[in-house]
Structure 1
Amino acid sequence: MKILVVVSEFPKLTETFVYRNIAEYRRAGHGVRLFYAKKHFPQELVHGFARETADSAFTFGFLAPQSLLALGREVVRHPVRQIRLWKILARSHRHEIGRGLRSFAVLPKSVALGHWCRSQGIDHIHAEFAGFPATVAMIAARVSGVPFSFSAHANDIFVSQALLPEKAAEARFVRAISRYNIDWLGRLPSFPADRLRLIHCGVPRALLEAPEPDPPGSGPLNVLYVGSLIEKKGVFHLLEALAQLRDRMPLRCRIIGRGDLEGAMRQAAERLGLNGIVTFDGPKDAEEVRAAYGWAHAVVVPSVVGAGGRVEGIPVVAMEALAHARPLVASRLSGIPELVEDGVTGWLTEPGDAAGIARALAAIREDWPRAVTLARAGRDRVRAEYLIEDNAAELLRAIEEAA
């Protein structure tokens, strides 16, 4: 079976679930190519397990001759189909002009992709994310006759719902990564809820073999954050929590990742007197992150609602932390409580509650046996529901049934 996976940007260090899914499809004997709709970051780190995908990833230019010729050919051969498509794009984006213009901008390359799918004998198109990747997949499917589906994660559904019901109606299925997303999408007007399938993201089974952390004893509590340094990740609140604790207990914190707010976060750490406690380690590949989990006594996922309604889904870092049996502090937000059950598999705090994060970290240090018990329960939950081998296989079965 030949599968095309569509994403928005490539490569993305944070989108490990996409590349791990592709690796599982290949392991099952399927041919897979990855198409990126918008941006290419040639200097970005590529995880070792994603290199085969990186070598075969491709795109078409927005105004490349191949894209423009494909669109012109489609207009001449199927004018009614194209007019209907343009009307749908215009009507669905009438309140979001900028987003609508971007949807029209990807039209030529989407048509070219449809022609490519037909010529290559692609059996199914799956878009990771319900925004532009799903738009590209829908157009390519219309042109080629190849069935498509898409995954609904977080920002791709919470920020804008333009064209979302139309894409879902044409898709063979819509994969939602959480029960929260199932409920949220099911309440949208005109959304075909019968298309929805719950299939979590996941992490490799091998992570479950990681040794449990040693107790901090009289030394510092090692706190780890892994993720982008952007607003919705809530790192400022973690820094505030550390400042509240610095005179009460020895601490160290590593912040792994990068983003637009890194400079402001460094300034905040200095202002809060966290020099010598917090280090900003930059982006790391999967193996380096795994070593960081080995260092950590606790992991914090301090997510908040960002500008424009930007929200996490169920962060993969939370799955990784629990797979490593690390005590986890996370926000009560979106689908996170499905994985992190307060007092059962970890600690939940309200979004933006620095004092709550501080209390949770203090509790981890003060009652280490309980922290280990919760972390073990978290590992068991990951084993039961959040392994990439199991969930990629379930997504692959859905794709095979739809093709």
Structure 2
Amino acid sequence: MSITVAYLVNQYPKVSHSFIRREILALEADGIPVLRFSVRSCATELVDEADRQELDKTRFILGVGLFGVLLSFCRVAISRPSQFWQSFRLAWKLGRRSEQGILYHLIYLAEACVLLEWLNQADVAHLHAHFGTNSTTVALLCRSLGGPPYSFTVHGPEEFDKVQAIGLPEKIKRADFVVAISSFGKSQLYRWCSLDQWPKIHVVHCGVDQVYLDHPFTPMPTEPQFVCIGRLCEDKGQLLLVQAAQQLIQEGFRFRLVLVGDGTIRPEIEALIAAHHLQPYIEITGWASNVEVRRHLLNAWVMVLPSFAEGLPVAIMEALALGRPVISTTIAGIPELVKPGVCGWLTPPSSVEDLVSTMRQALQASPEHLEHLGRQGAARVAQQHNVAIEAGKLAILFRASSERHQNQPAVTASHSYRDLSVTNAYSKAP
């Protein structure tokens, strides 16, 4: 069955969204054409050539300018007044309950008008959004205006931190299906919808591609080194990681710690490094390309990510795929992949003492033991996070959605799951 799917992300392509790019490319390899749409561009931040190639394939809603947005807003209001005013009331209702307010949601409605015209021109059968925040709000309003059925992927933790403020229950109710990236995420979505909505919620993992899965095993380097990959922000726990490193250096251990990424708390991290004279031991690289990330991982003994809040970090998948064990925390979906004693270690979040103890164990471990953990981690990633397999699950859901709406054009997404045949169709999908 031939269908065209559109993807909508608030910012795409983006340095930290390589998993979305991999998913799109895997879907296209599976025979589903994917159109890329983004609300806004962050082109100046891109460092990876693959992201720059995606930039040329992506259409930006705000790229039409204020006049273009207003023009679409007026055209849709005139051409479909009933649906427009229904959507206007929906935007008003969502806006009243939100953090951003009514004005922002009227802007989302205007953005949905632009997107609606583009999707109609391209004969798109299904719209999929990543993240349950404003991009899914635009998708929901586009559907209310008469656009195609939509679905969305929830990553966490942001969506679970402000469920009512982003209208998550309403978005689940009106969606054709919803994707969680872990069983933990699925459980949180179950909390915020009625039982009759549960069959539409599916787990589709973020994936790594063959570049990682097929990479030959690289022995551990001779010099001890930890690497931490991710945005420099409070949630990732890098400040505690620097404190843990400082304590281990005081104990006499000698190693390097490389922080790959950038973000809002970089000045605070740099100040802490300087205060303890840790410059010879700790390096901050800033954002890195995929090739550079792989190099940093292969130069390390262990990947460390002491996060307080997560979904299931792609950086952990990439580290394990390359045969590097992982130290992380017992939160969200991380324990579903990182098994203590199998492919790494888990510590309680926010505990510097436990982090110090675990990093000490890694420094005292033999290269043979670290390589054993790394090989088992690579096997787990190949089994659970192969992007081709995970995208295949999405392809089944997209095709089922398109077929269902072709066969039952009068049934709306918010009520379709009352029909047993629809529920059964979903139960057959992975």
CA–CA distance in structure 2, aligned partners of residues 33 and 44 of structure 1:
22
| Corresponding residue of 1:55 | 56
| Corresponding residue of 2:407 | none
User: Post-superposition shift, 1:189?
Assistant: 4.8
In structure 2, relative to structure 1, the CA distance for the partners of 1:216 and 1:77 (3 Å cut) is: closer
CA–CA distance in structure 1, aligned partners of residues 362 and 214 of structure 2:
22
Assess if the C-alpha contact under 8 Å between 1:7 and 1:133 holds in 2: yes
In structure 2, relative to structure 1, the CA distance for the partners of 1:324 and 1:100 (3 Å cut) is: farther
Deviations 1:237-258 (A, max 9, x none): 1101101111331110111111
User: Post-superposition shift, 1:167?
Assistant: 1.6
Answering whether residue 177 of structure 2 is matched by residue 173 of structure 1, we say: yes
| Corresponding residue of 1:374 | 373
In percent, how many aligned pairs have the same letter? 27
User: Post-superposition shift, 1:318?
Assistant: 0.4
Q: CA RMSD of the aligned region, Å?
A: 2.0
In structure 2, relative to structure 1, the CA distance for the partners of 1:301 and 1:100 (3 Å cut) is: farther
Answering whether residue 236 of structure 2 is matched by residue 237 of structure 1, we say: no
* Equivalent residue for 2:231, pick from 212, 228, 231: 228
CA–CA distance in structure 2, aligned partners of residues 232 and 93 of structure 1:
27
TM-score normalised per structure 1: 0.92
Question: Secondary structure of 1:36's partner?
Answer: strand
Assess if the C-alpha contact under 8 Å between 2:237 and 2:307 holds in 1: yes
| Corresponding residue of 1:198 | 203
CA–CA distance in structure 1, aligned partners of residues 379 and 58 of structure 2:
35
Deviations 1:286-343 (A, max 9, x none): 0111111111111101111xxxxxx310000000011111121001111111111222
Assess if the C-alpha contact under 8 Å between 2:130 and 2:152 holds in 1: yes
Assess if the C-alpha contact under 8 Å between 1:205 and 1:383 holds in 2: no
What letter corresponds to residue 56 of structure 1 in structure 2? Answer: K
User: Post-superposition shift, 1:229?
Assistant: 0.7
CA–CA distance in structure 2, aligned partners of residues 299 and 141 of structure 1:
42
User: Post-superposition shift, 1:74?
Assistant: 2.5
User: Post-superposition shift, 1:97?
Assistant: 4.4
Deviations 1:367-390 (A, max 9, x none): 223333222222111011111121
User: Post-superposition shift, 1:180?
Assistant: 0.4
Gaps of 5+ in 2: 403-430
Assess if the C-alpha contact under 8 Å between 2:301 and 2:324 holds in 1: yes
CA–CA distance in structure 1, aligned partners of residues 329 and 108 of structure 2:
36
Matched ranges for 1:1-400 at <5 A? 1-37=3-39, 39-61=40-62, 64-161=66-163, 162-190=166-194, 192-212=197-217, 214-215=219-220, 220-247=223-250, 248-304=252-308, 311-368=309-366, 369-400=368-399
In structure 2, relative to structure 1, the CA distance for the partners of 1:97 and 1:44 (3 Å cut) is: closer
Assess if the C-alpha contact under 8 Å between 1:256 and 1:282 holds in 2: yes
User: Post-superposition shift, 1:274?
Assistant: 1.2
What letter corresponds to residue 134 of structure 1 in structure 2? Answer: T
Question: Secondary structure of 1:64's partner?
Answer: helix
Deviations 1:43-65 (A, max 9, x none): 11243333432102112338633
User: Post-superposition shift, 1:213?
Assistant: 5.0
